[in-house]
Amino acid sequence: MTEALEVHITTPDSATAERIARLLVEERLAACAQVLPDMTSYYRWDGVVQADPECLILAKTTPGRFDELAARVEQEHPYETPEVIAMPIVAATEAYAAWLAEAVTRPPE
């Protein structure tokens, strides 16, 4: 199987999530990106436990595109420290893995 990652990116609202998800796919940094709305994140920030509504982007990419994807998210994201974490996809159908790899390959210039 081709190496692949699922990248989790939290955002403050659906408009931000949809904008970033579309951008990542348009720029071939992600093969696809799903936006999951309406969750609550609990976290510690500046020594205080916070609870805020957020959305989650699940973006599929390859290890070779992760650094560019993360940098692009940081450019576009309103948070000071956005969550951009990746987990390896340990199994996928051969057809899906091939599609994912092709979808994030830069076209020839």
pLDDT at 106: 80
pLDDT for 35-87, tens place per residue? 999 999 999 999 999 999 999 999 999 999 999 999 999 999 999 999 999 99
Residue 38 corresponds to which tokens in the numbers above? 């309406």
pLDDT for 99-108, tens place per residue? 999 999 987 6
What CATH code is assigned to 5-103?
3.30.70.120
* CA–CA dist 79, 10 (Å, integer): 9
* CA–CA dist 17, 13 (Å, integer): 6
SS3 category, 10: strand
Q: Could you tell me the pLDDT band of residue 2, with boundaries at 50, 70 and 90?
A: low
Residue boundaries of the structural domains of the chain = 5-103
Q: What is the mean pLDDT of residues 8-16?
A: 98
